[in-house]
Structure 1
Amino acid sequence: MEECGMGKQCPPQEEKKLTEAMEELEMWKNKVDKAETEKSRLLLEKLSAEATKKQAQKETMTLTEQQKSVESSVRKINKAQEDSILQLQKNNQALMERLKKYEDMLKIKKAEYSSLQQTSMIKADIPETKVRFTGVGREEDEENYEDIVCVFTITQKPSFRLMGGQALITFEKEKVAKNILRLPKCSVAFDKNRMDLKPYSVPLEPSVKFEVQMNVSKRTIRYSNPPPYLPAELRDRLEISFSKPSQGGGEVEEVFYNKDTGVGKITFLNTGVAECLTLKKKYTIDASQEVYVSVQPYFEYQLKRFQKYCGVSKRTVLLDGIEEALDEEDLQDYLEIHFQKPSNYGGEVESIKYIHGASTAEAYFKEDTEETN
């Protein structure tokens, strides 16, 4: 039994209550200690959280500033790219305009080239002409005479296309044509009527003159349509076949064959063989069956002394706007009578040609050998 105050002993009930109170007090003390410990821990965590928060805020601000800087840089880069794209588009547009300009210039140049090509193009059937033999050089060294040299001079006559309702009058003297061309019009009498005609000069189409030098080989022939062998085997067969004197051949120096064109050439060691073979035109090749190849002369040619001429006829006058009042011959007679009279500023007429209706004619001119006054 515990003692109460003043040395008195407490009753058992009071003692029990006191013990319970003491235990409860101890319990609350422990709770208070735990609460204080928890409070301290929470304060520490709070301080740590605030520090972490401040660090996070600082890092957030740094990241925000960096983001703003990156966005600014991106905007600048985008702006630079947009400016660059815009400049490239401008440059591209300028290049397209220049390309269009050059394409237009190219079209003009092509048209000019086509026109010049047409005017300088020569297409004519050259008739067979007798060749006059003038002599032969002295063959001191036969190797110097391996080719037959031919020189041909080709002269294209200048021309003018005469249309229906036009006439060409060529005078004997140049000064007569000049006098007629000075007139604003020519009043020509036809029976009881008169017709006013306008005189014009005659611009001639461009013409050319050139030489063709041809060298015909006396030791080489050209062959075609060979049999279908491999190039090496074909060469051997050709060399053996063309070496036979019994067929008109001779010793072969060189064999050439172009498999793409199917044409080749054979060069003999001596002259005379090629000339004889070209006259035969065909030659038999040794094969499993009888095979012929075509033989032609081998020649080379060059274009030399090419000259182009263009101008206006000095003694010819063009009359335009002629009405179909009479037939062709009668109207030509009236024109010739009119332009022969000195009172009409005319003179002796060399030739006259009138075309009526929808007909056309090509008039050719020749060069004066002597100066005509």
Structure 2
Amino acid sequence: MHLSNQDTQRNQLPQVMADMHNNQLLNDKVERDLEEAKKELDIWKTKVEKADDAKSRLIMEKLEEDEAKEKNKQEMLAWAKKQEECRKEFSQSMSGVKDEILKLCNCKEDFLDKLRRCKAELQNKKEESIKLKQKFKIYAEIPDTDVNFTSQLKEECDDDSKPIKGVFTISQRPTMLLDGGQALITFEEEKVASQILKITKCSVSCENLSLEVKPKRITMDPAMNFEVQLEVSRKQIKVSNIPPSMPEERMKDKLEMSFSKSSRGGGEVKEVEYDKNTGTGYITFLHPGDVENLTLRRKYLVDLDSEVSVQVGPIFEYKLHKFQTFCGTLKRTILLDDIKDIEDEEDLQDHLEIHFQKPSNCGGEIDSIKYISRGKALLALFCEDTL
């Protein structure tokens, strides 16, 4: 069926109106979307601007951080270099310190060795000193003698200022230090000692044991004789322990006045000498009796700023004359050495005496015998009849 154009248009009009309405809605929606897009675009532009600002700021901060990082890196490299230099310097210093410690250890060892040698030398010197002291020690016993004074010589009465003189003759007896494990035997005959000395070792029977001893010839240390001449002043004394509390001239006056008082045992003073450095003085009296009284008292009160006790003593001079040394040879005495302590000291001495009395052992009559066990020592004195 064929429709006319008007009918066709009339039929299409609602559709067109609907399409126009849809287009209008669509355009409105597009406008709204466009408006929203513009707003969103503005928002994103703002965000982009902020992002650009943040980016610029971050770039600046990064540049600053990079600059700081480079600076820190340079400082770190400088410190690392300095640390390496310090390490090298420390290694060199440590090496030097180790070398110095090694040198000090070597010096310490050297000093310790030297100290040990010095101690050993000192000990030897002490032992030698003890031996020399024993060798040159003088024991003098002056016997009491009754003396009767009948009269005084005229010449002595005329000159009582002369000093008291004395002459003493000293004779040293030969000595020997007998160590532990040694014995001395003195025979009555010289030939017995000579026979024993020809034997290298002697076998001594001690109950169930046998003891070997070595006979030896005794080498005597030198002895001496000398004379001592002594002179003691009759008119002068020595004063000691004087405190240096005043000038020398004033001290002399004080000493003279103090020692002139007869109530204290003094007397008329002739001369006073005083040495402030040593605190000693020398008082010369007119009469000899005053010196004797004061020296016997040994102490005296002196008037200084206060009463002071000083020491008084005699003034004497001594001289050594006729010094002689001599060596003696022991012809009847021998030394038995290297003796072991297998028994008591007395029992072992008895066995030694019995053995060396027998003629079958080349022995003979014994005048004296002395044995010293180990750990002891004894100084033996010899008389002239044993030399």
What TM-score do you get using the length of structure 1 for normalisation? 0.60
Aligned to 2:184: 168
Q: Report the equivalent of 1:299.
A: 316
Q: Read off the aligned partner of 1:140 and give its amino acid letter.
A: K
Q: Secondary structure at the match of 1:204?
A: coil
Partner residue, 1:132: 145
Output the CA distance in 2 between the equivalents of 1:212 and 1:144. Answer: 23
1:195 aligns with 2:211: yes
Aligned to 2:284: 267
Residue number in structure 2 paired with 1:310: 327
Q: Give CA-to-partner distance per residue, 1:234-257, whole Å, 9 cap, x none.
A: 112212222233332222222112
Cα separation, partners in 2 of 1:150 and 1:338, compared to 1, 3 Å: same
Deviates more, 1:263-272 or 1:307-316: 307-316
SS at match of 2:288: coil
Q: Work out the CA distance in 2 between the residues paired with 1:317 and 1:133.
A: 43
Counterpart contact for 2:238–2:315, Cα < 8 Å: yes
Structure 1 residues 319, 258: CA separation in 2 closer, same or farther (over 3 Å shift)?
Answer: same
Question: Taking structure 1 as reference, are residues 188 and 329 closer, same or farther at Cα in structure 2, changes over 3 Å only?
Answer: same
Q: CA deviation at 1:202?
A: 1.3
Q: Which residue of 2 aligns with 1:367?
A: 383
- Whole-angstrom CA distance in 2 between matches of 1:194 and 1:226: 70
Decide whether aligned partners of structure 1 residues 205 and 135 sit closer, same or farther in structure 2, where only a CA change above 3 A counts: farther
Give yes or no for the alignment of 1:319 onto 2:336.
Answer: yes
1:207 has 2:214 as partner: no
**Equivalent runs, 1:218-367 vs 2, <5 Å:** 218-227=234-243, 228-356=245-373, 358-367=374-383
* Closer, same or farther: CA 325–359 of 1 in aligned 2, 3 Å: same
CA distance in 2, matches of 1:205, 1:334: 29
**Partner-residue secondary structure (3-state), 2:197:** helix
Letter in 2 for 1:290: E
Tell me which amino acid in the other structure corresponds to 1:236. Answer: D
Q: CA deviation at 1:219?
A: 1.1
* Distance apart, 1:224 and its partner CA: 1.2
Aligned length: 257
Residue 171 of structure 1 deviates from its aligned partner by 1.4
Who is 1:87 aligned against? none
Q: Which amino acid aligns with 2:234?
A: K
In structure 1, what is the equivalent of residue 24 of structure 2? none
**What amino acid is aligned across from residue 192 of structure 2 in structure 1?**
V
Separation in 2, partners of 1:124, 1:163: 19
Cα distance change of structure 1 residues 199 and 305 upon mapping to structure 2, 3 Å threshold: same
The one-letter code of the counterpart of 2:298 is K
CA spacing shift, 1:362–1:156, aligned 2, 3 Å: farther
Cα displacement string for residues 351-371 of structure 1 (whole angstroms, at most 9, x for unaligned residues): 212223x313223222324x8
Whole-Å separation in 1 of the counterparts to 2:303 and 2:140: 39
Q: How far 1:199 moved relative to its partner?
A: 1.0
**Matched residue SS, 2:254:** helix
Tell me whether 1:151 sits opposite 2:167 in the alignment: yes
Q: Distance in 2 between matches of 1:265 and 1:306?
A: 32
Match of 2:194 in 1: 178
Partner of 2:154, secondary structure, is coil
TM-score by length of 2: 0.58
In the TM superposition, what is the alpha-carbon distance from 1:134 to its structure 2 partner?
Answer: 4.4
Root-mean-square deviation over aligned CA pairs: 3.1
Whether the 8 Å contact between 2:138 and 2:172 is mirrored in structure 1 is no
Q: Return the index of the structure with the highest Cα Rg.
A: 2
Give the stretch that moved more between structures: 205-214 or 254-263: 205-214
Conserved 8 A contact 1:120-1:207? no
By percentage of residues, which structure has more helix? 2
Letter in 1 for 2:278: T
